[in-house]
Amino acid sequence: MELLNEGISFHSFFLLLMPWMMLVTGQVTPSTFIFAFVADTCVVGFLFCFAFLVLHCSLLHSGATTKEWFGGHARAYDHGWKTNVRNFLGERWYLIWVSPWIESQLIGDGIHFTARNIVQPKSSHL
């Protein structure tokens, strides 16, 4: 665990940035390489999971599916964040985060949803 004892230096920075290059050039031991590789894999995995979470939280906030979002129809079912969360997680949405075994009755049937009424501006004919 030389990497932990070494602190922050150019060597540790390049080890975390390019672990394979440091191993091939003989700058680190195999155990230090494995530690750096696992740390890099965890960081990349965290970034992917965080991006996935942010995307789906924004979809939940706008009341859309990924297909609607990519198709440009993401605002058709937007009723505000609180109503969207209640439609998705049920009446007791605030308790669902605690345990998946807590029962929360859905507002609808889970298949059919009400679209919001979008008022189109009247076009003026000159």
| Within-domain flag for 82 | yes
Q: What does the mean pLDDT of the chain come to?
A: 82
Range of the structural domain that residue 20 is part of? 2-96
> Is pLDDT of 19 > 60?
yes
Distance spanning both ends of the chain, measured CA to CA: 77
Nearest to 74 by CA among 84, 64, 82: 64
| Within-domain flag for 35 | yes
What mean pLDDT do residues 43-72 have? 90
Into how many domains does the chain fold? 1
> Is pLDDT of 119 > 90?
no
Which tokens is 20 given? 């394979």
> Is pLDDT of 126 > 90?
no
Q: Name the amino acid, one letter, at 36.
A: A
| Within-domain flag for 126 | no
The CB density around residue 20, as the number of other CB atoms within 10 Å, is 11
> Is pLDDT of 6 > 80?
no
> Is pLDDT of 60 > 70?
yes
